[in-house]
Structure 1
Amino acid sequence: MNDTQLDKANIDNLTALWRAMGSEPAGMAGLQASRGWPHRFWFDWDHQPLCEGHELARLPPRAMVPVWTAGSVLERALISQGFDLALEQRAMHLRMDGEGRRPEGGLRLSRVLTPAQAEQWAVLCGRAFGYEVAAATVRRLLGAGGACLLLASREDRPVATALLYHSGEVMGMHQVGVVPELRGQGIAHELMLQLMALAREQGARYLTLQASVAGEGLYRRLGFAPRFSISSYRRG
């Protein structure tokens, strides 16, 4: 795939994950809704919405609407209806060239397989990201093809979460977070190396993610290429 195709694959992977979490049509042509966590209302990458402001005004207060293209009709309509920028991320990808192996370190990955483990993952992920993560949504992912929920532990203590979502040749990396009290100790770096090795073992040719401002530097150092901004809006 070239870079343009990978840009589409990045967002297609993300929105496929949101669908697996549970979504439904939102009453506006092409608009999909995840009414629980992650509270996203979105148009697919290749859908160009012709937005009516009064339709956007009916979205619930917690709804986050991502914009894939800066300056688009959608972005202008959201701003005109009093939506504020709530989250800015950078779409990034990595081509899985060459060989790789899991790093030797103190971090151990374990797959989430049971409802009780899903509950633990939701609590830990919520702590890492600073917002509530719905355990019911996490449990739904246990039976979703392509989804792999992971807990990272150090000295038998859970310290970080990750979610891999496999679609085609792409492995999307999501919800990679370390609990606040243990940041700055190299856990995120070691976790990413482990995830990259796992993705390679599972046959992924490309990795995609949506980086926060805080995480972008680490991903750049690991070789991920920055591509475009994703701006998410919520009513002010």
Structure 2
Amino acid sequence: MNDTQLDKANIDNLTALWRAMGSEPGGMAGLQASRGWPHRFWFDWDHQPELKGHELARLPPRAMVPVWTAGSALERALTSQGFGLVLEQRAMHLAVDGEGSRPEGGLRLSRVLTPAQAECWAALCGRAFGYEVATATVRRLLGADGACLLLASREGGPVATALLFHTGEVVGIHQVGVVPEHRGQGIAHELMLQLMALAREQGARYLTLQASAAGEGLYRRLGFVPRFSFSSYRRG
């Protein structure tokens, strides 16, 4: 795939994950809605919506609407309806080459397979990101095709979460979070190396992610290519 195709594949992976978490039609043509966590209302990458202000005004207060292209009609309509910028991210990708091997270190990855483990993952992820993660949504992912929920542990117990989601040739890396008391110890770097190796074992040709400002430097050092920024809006 070329860079333009990978940009689409990046967002397609993300929105496929949101669908797996549970979504429904959002009340206007082409709009998908996740009414629980992650509270996203979105149009797919290649959908150009015909917008009416009163339709956007009906979205629930917690709804977060991503805009893939700066200056688009969607962004203008959102701001005109009182939606404000709440999150900026950068889409990044990495071509997988070579066989590689799992890095040796003190971090152990285990797959989340049971409802009890899903509850632990949700609580830990919520602490890492500072917002509530719905256990019911996490449990739904246990049976979703392509989803792999992971807990990262050291001797004292679990310290970080991650989620791999496989679509076609792409494995998306999501929800990489380290709990506050274990930050600054190199855990995120070691976790990413393990995730990259695991995705390679799963047959990925490309890795994608959506980086916050805090994480972008790490991903660049690991070889991920920055592509485009996108913004998410919420009312008020």
Above 0.5 in TM-score?
yes
Tell me which residue corresponds to 1:60: 60
* Deviation of 1:80 (Å): 0.5
Shift of residue 50, structure 1, vs aligned partner: 1.6
Instruction: Say yes or no: does 1:114 pair with 2:114.
Output: yes
Residue 170 of structure 2 aligns with an amino acid whose one-letter code is V
Letter in 2 for 1:159: V
Kindly provide the amino acid, as one letter, of the partner of residue 48 in structure 2: Q
RMSD value, Cα: 0.6
Tell me the residue number matched to 1:184.
184
Unpaired runs of at least 5, structure 1: none
In 1, the alpha carbon distance for the partners of 2:169 and 2:62 equals 33
Once residues 151 and 118 of structure 2 are traced to their aligned partners in structure 1, the CA distance between those partners, rounded to angstroms, is 10
| Distance in 1 (alpha carbons) for counterparts of 2:67 and 2:97 | 30
SS at match of 2:181: helix
Structure 1 residue 99: Cα displacement: 2.8
After TM superposition, what 4+ stretches of structure 1 lie above 3 angstroms from structure 2? none
Find the counterpart in structure 2 of residue 38 from structure 1. Answer: 38
Report how far residue 204 of structure 1 moved: 0.2
* Distance in 2 separating the partners of 1:67 and 1:86: 12
Q: Which residue of 1 aligns with 2:79?
A: 79
**Structure-2 residue corresponding to 1:17:** 17
How far is 1:181 from its partner? 1.0
CA distance in 2, matches of 1:154, 1:230: 34
- Residue 124 of structure 1 aligns to a residue whose secondary structure is helix
SS in 2 for 1:118: helix
* Counterparts of 2:152 and 2:121, CA distance in 1: 10
Q: Summarize deviations over 1:61-88 as a string: whole Å, max 9, x none.
A: 0000000000000000000100000000
How do residues 150-229 of structure 1 correspond to structure 2 at under 5 angstroms?
150-229=150-229
Structure 2 equivalent of residue 137 of structure 1: 137
Aligned mates of 2:2, 2:97 — CA distance in 1 = 14
CA distance in 1, matches of 2:147, 2:222: 23
* Separation in structure 2 between the aligned mates of residue 100 and residue 142 of structure 1, nearest angstrom: 28
CA–CA separation in structure 1 for the residues paired with 2:75 and 2:24: 22
Deviation string for 1:135-184 (max 9, x for gaps)?
00000000001000000001151000000000000000000000011111
3-state SS, counterpart of residue 46 of structure 1: coil
SS of corresponding position for 2:215? helix
> After superposition, what is the alpha-carbon deviation per residue over 1:25-69, rounded to whole angstroms, capped at 9, x for unaligned?
011000000000000000000100121111101100000000000
Secondary structure of 1:214's aligned partner: helix
Percent identity over the alignment is 89
For residues 37 and 228 of structure 2, the distance between their equivalents in structure 1, rounded to whole angstroms, comes to 24
The one-letter amino acid of 1:234's match is R
State how far apart, in whole Å, the 2-side matches of 1:71 and 1:54 are.
20
Q: Structure 2 CA distance, aligned partners of 1:118 and 1:156?
A: 19
